Amino acid sequence: MDMIWIVPVVGIATVLFAAGLAWNVLKRDSGTPEMQRIAGMIFEGAMAFLRRQYQTIAMLSVVTAVVVGLIVGYFDESVRTGVLTGVAFMIGAICSAIAGFIGMYVSVKSNGRCASAATRSLREAVAVSLRGGAVSGFLVVALSLLGVATLFAVYSRLLGNTMEDTPFLIVGFGFGASFVALFAQLGGGIYTKAADVGADLVGKVEAGIPEDDPRNAAVIADLVGDNVGDCAGRGADLFESTAAENIGAMILGVVIFQFTGNSNWILFPLVIRAFGLIATGIGIMSVPFFTREKQDPMTPLNYGYYVITALSIAFMALVTKIMMGDKWHWFFFSGLVGIGTSVVFVYITQYYTSGRWRPVKEIADASRTGPATNIIIGTAVGFETTLSTALAISVALVASFILGEKSDLPNGGVFGTAVATMGMLMSAAYILSMDTFGPITDNANGIIEMAGAPPEARDITDSLDAVGNTTKALTKGYAMASAGLAAFLLFSAFLDKVKEHFAKDEGSIYFGKPLQEIPFPVDISGVAPFVAALLGVMLVFLFSSLAIRAVGQTAGKIIEEVRRQFREDPGIMAGTSRPDYARAVDITARAALKGMMAPGLLVVGAPVVVGIIFRLIYKADLLGSGPSSSMAATVGAGGPESVAALLMVGTIGGVILATFFNNVGGAWDNAKKYIEAGLLKVPAEGGGEEVLGKGTDAHKAAVVGDTVGDPFKDTAGPSLHVLVKLLSTVTLVLAPLFIS
Amino acid sequence: MDMIWIVPVVGIATVLFAAGLAWNVLKRDSGTPEMQRIAGMIFEGAMAFLRRQYQTIAMLSVVTAVVVGLIVGYFDESVRTGVLTGVAFMIGAICSAIAGFIGMYVSVKSNGRCASAATRSLREAVAVSLRGGAVSGFLVVALSLLGVATLFAVYSRLLGNTMEDTPFLIVGFGFGASFVALFAQLGGGIYTKAADVGADLVGKVEAGIPEDDPRNAAVIADLVGDNVGDCAGRGADLFESTAAENIGAMILGVVIFQFTGNSNWILFPLVIRAFGLIATGIGIMSVPFFTREKQDPMTPLNYGYYVITALSIAFMALVTKIMMGDKWHWFFFSGLVGIGTSVVFVYITQYYTSGRWRPVKEIADASRTGPATNIIIGTAVGFETTLSTALAISVALVASFILGEKSDLPNGGVFGTAVATMGMLMSAAYILSMDTFGPITDNANGIIEMAGAPPEARDITDSLDAVGNTTKALTKGYAMASAGLAAFLLFSAFLDKVKEHFAKDEGSIYFGKPLQEIPFPVDISGVAPFVAALLGVMLVFLFSSLAIRAVGQTAGKIIEEVRRQFREDPGIMAGTSRPDYARAVDITARAALKGMMAPGLLVVGAPVVVGIIFRLIYKADLLGSGPSSSMAATVGAGGPESVAALLMVGTIGGVILATFFNNVGGAWDNAKKYIEAGLLKVPAEGGGEEVLGKGTDAHKAAVVGDTVGDPFKDTAGPSLHVLVKLLSTVTLVLAPLFIS
């Protein structure tokens, strides 16, 4: 049965749904004039940063699109392929930028309204922040779906490419999307954490004034940062995730299409994503039904997630049964594995980053002997979290592969892992909504503080802010797990892409063969792939180094500026004159954009350089042809095999390191909160218990850990998710370069 | 020409040379009665720890030897092979333990004599500490050479195994050596850093008394720690390095032997190691000729190293020319690459850990804004150091492979990397001598402080201590680089071992074939090897987590004990009564030994479990047989291929992570020293410059970084070197388990 019609219908319906939510939020009261003034400053700062950032990214994107088009066209010896790839790249880049922009626009328009709502009731504040978040969550996923589907339709129906060629032609879309997402996430991540660290160090530590105090010149930059990092960055990130994984899964479907002649195998990823949107829409609408007065705001959010999980299972059964013929149940089981993995990661993240369990308590306890032991034990806990993450990803991959293999279709195992990834990503729009919830409530909190609103309102936004911290941690766990699961899918697509090149090359011995009969092992016992694998792991460490250092350097610039303002205008500290917020915003933006260039270009350049070098070494016949070398007579020999090894092992390194960054940052953050909540107790000298709370040495030690964790969890970690996928898409698109 | 006679001659001559050095050191004056008393306490504490540690290790080793013998015997269907492997394991374990013991014994006997010599002259103090270090350095390398050579001679000549079978039978020796080395390095590393961190936190930070103050009950434990960690641990580590790499290289030589019929290819590693010992002996004897009064003690040490490098090049030319026939020059060039790599690493380590260059200055500068920025920038610098390390290893591997491949011999490329490793390790005895130099001078420093010797003596040992810090950092860089270079050699040996199994199996289609014609790709595009690779990287993170946490927990125990002693006997602080040093030593030892169990067993168990699981999945035919899966018809299918992927990618992760740990620890340490030396300056308020020296907030921040770096650079980092090699040897020996 042809189900593809559902894709445009659901896509457009979702856009309308999001527009409705946006209208609902924007028509609300935007608060007192003072709130409006502050929200206005945040809006202007965020827009100014985005404008400048997008100028840089646009320039880089146009250059890259042209270069990519030329490379693909030249090495594939087809002007048409080059042009189509370059155009797909630009469309992907533009859509990704729009997704980031929308996410941020709605967020900075919702924060003041959330602050205003908080002066009235918790319930209304939840409604505003959740709806504001949902606008971005749903639009991003719908745009990704519509973008891929439209491009597919245009390239296949209008431009007359075959069903099996088209997925290979639209990979440029994924590359363009990842390209923009990397810079958006990097620039935004550096901005947000540099502003946060800088504002804290110069305000809380040096000047002794509270967080979000209006006398601190960096405070607006800090509030802007939450938007440009968490909203714009994460929006672009999840846009490219869903796009790249859709395209990768479609490529894997080509092999089964060649065997069965049924195009459903190529279209399945689009259809299941559409059903995911339906499930998520119903889920988010169900949240108000679970909302009670005086309740932990996390509870209804959890119920909404359960509704989505149940619906996802039902839809997965429906779609696989209709589209996949008599072997559907194996892929349904693979999909179940993916949906289950998503639930498992929600629990893993909570275990490691919530104050209720051992890890955070251990770190809080270690703070008693100072910052050094806080960092040492925190590092040990962070490293430990890689165990459960790696095991969960491993079990999910092997199980979904085995289930897919049971179908007896060619490439069935790999397609099984793709279905699992699709299953996991069915709830993406909901997760992204919850993620955007975080910065909205955080900003509302800051606006209330700065506008001097009544303390009851502050209590409400404080409780929402705590929920926002949890949802942000969950999103990172989810994004990381889906990146790990998707990695296998994406580099399997790379292998297929290389094989496709040989299948279409008349001079090749594989001309006209089905892809699954073309050999392409990635043999890391060969010296070239082994060295490439080593460089791949090094790459993620070097990238993290550059990202973390950029935060440190940008924070240094902010600190200097705030100090200068304090020094040159004593009226600021006295509260008689206002600091120059705009200047601090401007300086942060400039430094953050400078900081994003080196790590961004490194990731795009490294696989290209490694691929070309090993291709040249191979062409010069320097590596011999023993069975243990990489030079067996396969299509991967030389460049592609080395690039694949860099990609695969670099991905492994990236997933493990990102797990460490995300979890250790969250754990340090919550160890600090644990102490602030008065939960750290020691036996007192005279018997009984003494609480080591705010202001004690233990608390100061925990603040050090929290500050160290900031660039880990909000700059390096999220950027690594994008890096992992960008590595895949850049090699996918540039495959012809490594072969010829 | 038969050159093998040189091995026993040089081996025995080296042992006599070391005995002479030991006699020279031991006959010297052992200082004032107070010095003797303190040295005696250190001696007793160290011996007590070693006794207890060796009891545990002995128990584990006997059990493991029996299990290994049974597994190999059962799965290889040969009682004889099982017994020979088990016996080789026990001999390796015993030799490794002896090497560790000797290293420590001489060190704890030299420290008091060095302290005594320092009261007389710098020159004599240098002589004592260098000779004491050399005893250990030379004995360890000579023992390793003699052990492998004797076992080879006995197994081939006395027991009648063929030249090509014997290397496979003696792999148990390497496993036994690594097994003991891992526990020795882990237990010693946990002990030394827990004592260091604990003594500092409770003494310098809490009680406000200086380092090595006799009122601190943990001070003897701290001095003992230097010996059990740096001497006993590092001795066992380098013993197993040289042994495992010799055996691995001999296995690689088997393939060329099968082709040429010349046994020189198997014996070469032993002969070149013997010549390395000659070069090192001459080098160390040349040091006094370069020694001048009032000179940086590092200068003559550097000249000695240049002498060794020059001699190594000459001997490499000589030995390759005599043993390798008309293609000798290609392998000579490979050897040059290895010798050059060793020099490159000396410079890389210095650049990243010395106060003269950008990295350490950057960290010192970041300390101005507190401990958080010190840790953030330190982490960025540490991650950055993986770049030069990975590039240097990559270039060395590819270059030596290409050169070896030029010889047109089967396996020539891989053998080229083995020759490079051998070239790098020619100077091992010298490096190890310089490493043991460190703890001897460190201890002498402590003894002088505690015995209240004159300040001039303290100045001398202070300057020696600084040199010791440099040589310790160099050793770690060297050990890490050689581990990276050797890794490729070791898992190539694993592949050969699996192939050998099939070549000897009458039921196999590869029966009787030369090894290089048996296919065994390690294809990480298959789901099983990919997952195994993911688990491999996770393994090194989890191992590091356990090791670092053990330091934190043990330090906590020490802090409690010292606090208890201060509380219960106020006379300690007043200086009227002595603390109970022995109890602190005992508590540290017990906690350290407990802490070493989990990470140690994890490393041995993980590859076994992964190998068996994937073997079972393969046997149940669950993974299909597509060309992209791991199930191509090769000898690696299922278990061995997955184990190889775990091993190779785990090694990559281990090398990168160890690089980070070693360098970041050294850089933090020296950033603190940089500030203490008064080199951190800021513009003063009224113009001019202000020095931010000892006691300032910047210094306190740098102390935090230094403390965090302690378990990184002295526990996790060095243990990872051993882990990397243990992974190789455990899989090598247990290969039959993964096949059958």
Q: Is the pLDDT of residue B733 over 90?
A: no
| Structure tokens belonging to residue B507 | 């039921």
B715 band by pLDDT with thresholds 50, 70 and 90: very high
Report A:12-41 residues touching B (Cβ under 8 A). Answer: none
Instruction: Specify the DSSP element, H or E, that contains B703.
Output: helix B697-711
Task: Report the C-alpha gap between B635 and B613 in whole angstroms.
Answer: 17
Is A623's CB within 8 Å of B405's CB? Answer: yes
Nearest residue in B to A622, CA atom: B402
What residues in B contact A527, CB-CB < 8 Å? 397-398, 401, 413-414, 417, 488
What is the 3-class SS of A586-654, one letter each residue? Answer: HHHHHHHHHHHHHHHHHHHHHHHHHHHHHHHHHHCCCCCCCCCCCCCCCCCCCHHHHHHHHHHHHHHHH
CA distance B223 to chain A (A): 21
Q: Which of A371, A380, A533 sits opposite B652 (nearest CB)?
A: A533
> What sections of A291-427 are H helices per DSSP?
298-323, 328-353, 358-366, 371-405, 412-425
Chain B residue with minimum CA distance to A535: B390
The dihedral over CA atoms of A558, A560, A565, A566, expressed in degrees to the nearest 10, equals: 110
Percent of the residues in chain B that have a pLDDT greater than 70, as a whole number: 98
Contact B644/A at CB under 8 A: yes
Inter-chain touch A537–B537, beta carbons under 8 Å: yes
The predicted structure's pLDDT at residue B337: 97
Confidence of residue B637 (pLDDT cuts 50, 70, 90): low
Does A467 reach chain B within 8 Å, measured CB to CB? Answer: no
Chain A touched by B728 (CB under 8 Å):
no
Dihedral sign, Cα of residue B646, residue B647, residue B653, residue B658: positive
First vs last C-alpha separation in chain A: 41
Residues of B in contact with A389 (CB under 8 A): 538
The whole-number pLDDT of residue A694 equals: 87
Q: Tell me which residue in B370, B559, B660 faces A205 most closely, judged by beta carbons.
A: B370
Whether the CB of B226 is below 8 Å from some CB of chain A: the reply is no
**A123 contacts A293 by C-beta, under 8 angstroms:** yes
Chain A CB contacts of B495 under 8 Å are 525, 628
For residue B326, what are the contacts with CB-CB under 8 A and spacing of at least 6?
none
Q: What is the pLDDT of residue B638?
A: 64
Nearest to A370 by CA among A127, A112, A702: A702
Cα distances from B318 to residues B57, B195, B208, in angstroms, run 41, 48, 60
Q: Exposed e or buried b for every residue in A82-95, given b needs 16+ CB within 10 A?
A: bebbbbbbbbbbbb
Angle between helices B639-676 and B697-711 (to 10 degrees): 150
Q: What pLDDT, on the 0 to 100 scale, is given for residue B424?
A: 93
Three-class HEC string of A56-87? HHHHHHHHHHHHHHHHHHHHCCCHHHHHHHHH
Q: How many CA atoms lie within 13 A of A55 on its CB side?
A: 9
* Range B324-342 burial, b when 16+ CB lie within 10 A, else e: beebbebbbbbbbbbbbbb
CB A376 within 8 A of CB B712: no
Residue labelled with tokens 């900075």:
A108
| A414 touches B at CB < 8 Å | yes
Question: Looking at chain A, how many residues does it have?
Answer: 740
Portion 687-706 of A in contact with B at CB < 8 A: 703-704
Which residues 6+ apart lie within 8 Å of B626 measured at CB? A410, A411, A413, A414, A516
From the list A64, A192, A65, A51, the residue with the least C-alpha distance to A716 is A192
Q: Among residues B260, B270, B246, which one has the least CA distance to residue B418?
A: B246
| Interface residue of B337, B379, B492 to substitute, partner A, most A CBs within 10 Å | B379
- Give residue B510's pLDDT: 84
Nearest C-alpha neighbor of B256 from the set B492, B76, B4? B492
Q: pLDDT confidence of B270, banded at 50, 70, 90? A: very high
pLDDT digits (tens, 9 = 90+) for B514-547: 887 887 888 888 888 999 999 999 999 999 999 9
Query: By C-alpha distance, which of B218, B119, B313 is closest to B572?
Result: B218
- Chain A partners of B386 at a C-beta cutoff of 8 Å? 537-538, 541-542
* Max Cα-Cα span within chain A: 88
Q: Which helix (H) or strand (E) holds B365?
A: helix B358-366
Amino acid, single-letter form, for residue A535 = L
Predicted pLDDT of residue A629: 39
Q: Contact at 8 Å (CB) between A283 and A305?
A: yes
Residues 6+ apart with CB under 8 A from B547: B186, B189, B190, B595, B599, B711, B715, B716, B719
Q: pLDDT tens-digit profile of B341-395?
A: 999 998 888 888 888 889 999 999 999 988 999 999 999 999 999 999 999 999 9
Asked if B653's CB is within 8 angstroms of A656's CB, the reply is yes
Rounded to an integer, what distance in angstroms lies between the CA atom of residue B177 and that of residue B179? Answer: 5
H/E run at residue B428: helix B428-451
Interchain contact B525–A (C-beta under 8 A): yes
- To probe the interface with A, which of B376, B546, B707 has the most A CB atoms within 10 Å? B376
Instruction: Please name the member of B371, B628, B649 whose beta carbon is closest to the beta carbon of A533.
Output: B649
- d(C-alpha A260, C-alpha A264), whole Å: 10
Tokens for B306, please give them. 């240049």
pLDDT, residue B347, reads: 86
Instruction: Determine contact: B397 vs chain A, CB below 8 A.
Output: yes
Best of B649, B699, B723 to substitute, by most chain A Cβ atoms within 10 angstroms, is: B649
The residue of A376, A408, A715 whose CB has the most chain B CBs within 10 angstroms, and thus the best one to mutate to test that interface, is A376
Contact A85, A733 (CB under 8 A): yes
* Min Cα–Cα distance to chain B from A286, Å: 38
User: Of the candidates B384, B413, B556, which has its C-beta nearest A527's C-beta?
Assistant: B413
| Contact across the interface for A624 and B525, Cβ inside 8 Å | no
Q: What is the pTM of this model?
A: 0.94
Candidates A488, A522, A548; nearest CB to B376? A548
Calculate mean pLDDT across residues B717-731.
Answer: 89
**Rounded to an integer, what distance in angstroms lies between the CA atom of residue B652 and that of residue B35?**
46
How many contacts does A have with B, using Cβ atoms within 8 A? 304
Per DSSP, helices labelled H in A119-262 are: 122-153, 166-169, 171-199, 219-226, 234-260
Please report the pLDDT score of residue A467 as a whole number.
81
- Does pLDDT of B400 surpass 90? yes
Candidates B434, B487, B476; CA nearest to B349 is B476
DSSP run (H or E) holding B681? strand B681-683
How far apart CA B474 and CA A655 sit, in angstroms, is 31
Smallest Cα distance from B511 to chain A, Å: 17
CB contact under 8 A, A552 and B402: no
CB within 8 Å: A711 and B376: yes
Integer Cα distance of A270 and A276 in angstroms: 10
Asked if B488 has any chain A CB less than 8 Å from its own CB, the reply is: yes
Q: DSSP assignment, residue B515? A: G
- Determine the pLDDT at residue A626: 46
Q: Mean pLDDT per segment of 10 residues, for chain A of length 740 residues? A: 86 94 90 89 88 91 93 87 92 90 86 90 86 91 93 90 87 90 90 90 80 84 86 83 88 88 92 95 89 78 92 96 90 96 89 87 92 95 95 95 90 92 92 87 87 83 80 84 85 85 82 82 88 96 96 89 88 86 88 90 90 84 55 59 92 95 92 91 82 89 93 92 88 83
Chain A touched by B559 (CB under 8 Å)? yes
End-to-end CA distance of chain B: 41
| Helix, strand, coil share (%) of chain B residues, nearest 5 | 80, 0, 15
> Residue B652's closest chain A neighbor by CA?
A534
Q: What is the Cα–Cα distance from A601 to B464, expressed in whole angstroms?
A: 45
pLDDT digits (tens, 9 = 90+) for B471-524: 888 888 888 888 888 888 888 888 888 888 888 888 888 888 888 788 788 888
Q: Look at A528 and B332; give whichever has higher pLDDT.
A: B332
The pLDDT tens digits for B651-674 are 999 999 999 999 999 999 989 989
